Structure 1
Amino acid sequence: MSIAFRDLSPRPTILQVIPALDTGGAERTTIDMAHAIVAAGGRALVASSGGRMLKELEAAGATHFEMDVHSKNPIVMALNVERLTRLAEREKVDLIHARSRAPGWSALAAARRLHVPFVTTYHSKVHEAPRIKVFYNSVMARGDAVIANSAYTAARIARIHAPDPARIFTVPRGVDTAAFDEAAVVPERIAGLHRRWKAGGQGRVVFLLAARVTRWKGQAVAVEAAAKLKAAGVENFELLLAGDAQGRDAYVNELEARIAREGLGEIVRIVGHCDDMPAAYALSDVVLAPSIEAEPFGRASVEAQAMGRPVIVSDAGGQRETVNAETGLAVPPGDATALAAAMRRLIDLGAEGRRAMGARGRAHARAHYSLEAMSRATLAVYAQLIADARSHPRAGRRQGKKRG
């Protein structure tokens, strides 16, 4: 018989460990779960090196502990074992949840020292080579529960790392469909981005690619597709590349050079990091997610659907699960010709056709990828592990000697 998180007494303290709180799906999920833990009456702690999302985390009611858990330096990682152990012991932590590899090794050691349950979420790609990388990544398959963000990721974990199948839980990434709702975005927010990005209007169809500016996210493929459309005489569109380059200046320079060389300056813009993604989606007509490698999940495509926007995704990985023919189009990864054809198809579909496809996407996201469903499933994993640990305490469980 399963136990609910709310039924546990005393209410649990959960420590999530993540490298930083700058941007990305793992970071967003950390904050979303902090909300859920607090709402369920628990204490939410996070250890990270900090970042631009820290204020949002604290607004969710979580307590943050700054720590160099992002470091891959073996000496720092060893020191982090002691730091996390002391933190978890002092705060009477009931469960440690690691969301990345470097902090995962330190968190695993701390959890084993204290005999508290250890959970991992495999947010990233599951590599099968080289051997040293597979071993390094294997910490994410060593949890008492291993959460996969898609069936695709779960299957790769099972094949490459082969943990006990009973420890693998598939919990799709959830989206806050109240925040990612076009009706909730006031016109002033859209107008602000319109002014800043000089985008939208003039009857142009606006395509948005929202992702970290890194090669595997497909920005170069999107720019090439835009060039192909322009060469074919199609110019009634704009392409916005929104995302943080995180120091990848060489790739940004490469994109800018290609944009200039193809004469795309009036069509393609690199607009940088965006703090208001619902407004960015609302400004757009179509969202692109043309990753050249398989996405473990593909958060942007689900957020876009929640916002009522048609999507064009790569036909690979987790995006095969999140997008269907009623809500968007899929093209082979890295195929700029196919991407250009899909973009033209949605241009030709017209505003009404795009709105109808977007409405189907909104219904799809609400039915299958709600934040509530993700939170409920994750809290259930926590609750069962904590209940089992409390029922069968191990000798020497130092943090369990004194329960306030």
Structure 2
Amino acid sequence: MPDNALPRSRAPAVLQVLPSLRDDAQGRAALDLARAVAREGWRSHVASAGGTLERELVGSGVRHHRLPLEGVGPFAIWLNAARLTRLAREHEVEVIHAAARRTAWSAGFAAKRTGAAFLTTVDAIHGDGGWGGLRRRYNRVLVAGERIIAVSEHVAEHLERAYGVEPGRVRIVRPGIDMAAFDAERVRGHRVAALAERWHLGFERKIVMLPGPVARAGGHHLMLRAMRRLARRDFTLLVVGDVERDAAYVRRIEVQARREGLTERVHFAGPCDDLPAAYMLADLVVVPALQAEGYVRPAIEAQAMGKLVIVNNTGGLDETVKPVATGWLVRAEDPAELAWALDLALSISDDDKARHARHARGFVAHEFSLEQMCRKTLAVYRELVRRHEAVAAEPAAAEAG
């Protein structure tokens, strides 16, 4: 056994490291994985600066370690590496999983010092330009893991092309959603009615929902241009998402809506704490995003709810839809094609809607369920534990020989 290898006297231990446990896609994925590890009978640890999801770990068999992991400076990285090293040694951690770029440097140093296996998750394509080449060096930590989880084929291909990562090191694990939470049959009518009342929605028009952060990457400006091209006026655009991330862009969209004469047909609902109920209000969900990051989950969630979707064919978003069977893919930044798809989707029969709903939910259950995400990630954990056990056993086998 190498001098820096951790002894194991108990069940394997996994430590997930991320900046915080906020109620976002990253925090929710870490929470679900931590619970899955505990259910396997392994020792499950999460290190973060805390957040709204922290309380959901209570009673789950997962240990949370609150550390100041949101810092990104060299000194913060060095201090957090020392903290994580002590933590890994104390709890005999065998797999350290960096679930975010911001914490990957500290987690990688801790893994190297303790002999634990190092795993990274890459959930987006990060630009390498700027900082005189330093940004690319900073991003390279994401491909430093013994194994790398990519959330899509698109991300995996980028890692191989841009960083020369061997395909054998990459495992594709798609993001997962809770199929029970996003189930139309489980959403009570009073939840839907409460949102309709809060947002002052009538029933005289169809509802086209555009979910996700209101930022340029969301493609809201493209949606308005597509609406202008349509002769039909029988729907309202319901924009659901954070309007504070890019206030300048929100103002630009409001001005554009006034200029195009669409103000009465565009409703900004703001963030929503009951997305399943929000999807129930929609006749159609549109994701005209220019990048996948931040907009994959809405496309998946809508299909799980049995909703028709239109998604831009860009940045891995194309992997979230089964064309024709579950929705439509349109060319990015092409308002004419988006307008065509809108008209088609809003015109299909109820029978066709029901058929799309069945296919969509089945597709998401197979490709994007929480169960598949946890199962595939646990398989990577087992692979790394077995690999390290084999390496540790080699010196003993050589001596015996």
- Counterpart of 2:168 in structure 1 is 166
1:223 aligns with 2:232: no
Structure 1 SS opposite 2:264: coil
Instruction: Give the AA of the match of 1:381.
Output: V
Q: State the Cα deviation string for residues 344-380 of structure 1 (Å, max 9, x = none).
A: 2111124443332222111211222222122111101
Give 1:65 shift.
2.7
Tell me the distance in 2 between the aligned counterparts of 1:118 and 1:338.
44
What is the number of residues matched between the two proteins?
384
Question: CA separation of 1:52/1:265 partners in 2, compared to 1, >3 Å: closer, same or farther?
Answer: farther
Measured in 2, the distance between the counterparts of 1:54 and 1:261 equals 45
Residue 118 (structure 1) aligned with residue 110 (structure 2): no
State the AA in 2 paired with 1:236: D
1:107 maps to which residue?
Answer: 107
- CA offset at residue 139 of structure 1? 0.9
Tell me if 1:369 matches 2:371.
Answer: no
Which one of the candidate residues 312, 323, 334 is aligned to 1:314?
Answer: 312
| Structure 1 counterpart of 2:51 | 51
Contact 1:173 1:297 in 2 (8 A): no
Cα deviation, 1:92-146, whole Å, max 9, x if unaligned, reads 3221111211211111111111110111110112445454332221111111110
- The amino acid of 1:27's aligned partner reads G
Show the 5 A alignment for 1:5-404.
10-58=10-58, 60-127=60-127, 129=129, 131-199=133-201, 201-202=203-204, 204-229=205-230, 232=231, 234-245=232-243, 247-293=245-291, 298-323=296-321, 324-393=323-392
TM-score under structure 2 normalisation? 0.88
Query: Does the CA-based 8 Å contact 1:122-1:140 persist in structure 2?
Result: yes
Judging changes above 3 Å, is the alpha-carbon distance between structure 1 residues 213 and 48 closer, same or farther for their aligned structure 2 residues?
Answer: farther
- Residue 275 of structure 1 aligns with an amino acid whose one-letter code is D
Kept in 2, the 8 Å contact 1:15–1:47? The answer is yes
How far apart in 2 are the matches of 1:298 and 1:125?
13
Q: Which moved more, 1:134-143 or 1:110-119?
A: 134-143
The answer to whether the Cα contact below 8 Å between 1:297 and 1:317 also exists between their aligned partners in 2 is no
* Structure 1 position 72, deviation (Å): 2.0
Which residue identity lines up with residue 345 of structure 1 in the other structure?
A: L
Residue 327 of structure 1 deviates from its aligned partner by 0.8
CA contact (8 A) 1:123 1:296 kept: no
SS of corresponding position for 2:160? helix
Q: Per-residue CA shift, 1:273-330, capped at 9, x if unaligned?
A: 2222222222212111111235598222122111111110011232222212211111
Q: Secondary structure at the match of 2:329?
A: strand
Q: 1:33 to 1:256 in 2, by over 3 A?
A: same
CA distance 1:297–1:251, change in 2 (3 Å)? closer
Task: Indicate conservation of the 8 Å contact 2:120/2:145, yes or no.
Answer: yes
The question of whether the paired residues in 1 share the 8 Å contact of 2:214 and 2:245 is answered with no
Greater Cα offset, 113-122 or 343-352: 343-352
TM-score normalised per structure 1:
0.87
Letter in 1 for 2:221: A
Larger radius of gyration: 2
Instruction: Give, in angstroms, the shift of residue 383 of structure 1.
Output: 1.2
| Secondary structure of the structure 1 residue equivalent to 2:263 | coil
Distance 1:72 1:333 in 2: 33
Relative to 1, partners in 2 of residues 1:285 and 1:271: Cα closer, same or farther, differing over 3 Å? same
Higher relative contact order (Cα pairs below 8 Å, separated by 6+ residues): 1
Q: 1:71 to 1:223 in 2, by over 3 A?
A: farther
Distance apart, 1:257 and its partner CA: 2.7
Query: Residues 336 and 151 (structure 1 numbering): CA distance in 2 closer, same or farther, change over 3 Å?
Result: same
**Where does the alignment leave 5 or more consecutive residues of structure 1 unmatched?**
1-7, 395-404
Q: Deviations over 1:148-199 (max 9, x none)?
A: 1111111111111112322111112222222211111111221221122223
Q: Do 1:217 and 1:291's aligned partners in 2 also have CA atoms closer than 8 Å?
A: yes
Distance 1:300 1:118 in 2: 30
- Structure 1 pair 83/185, CA: closer, same or farther in 2 (3 Å)? same
Q: Is the 8 A contact 1:281 1:307 kept in 2?
A: yes
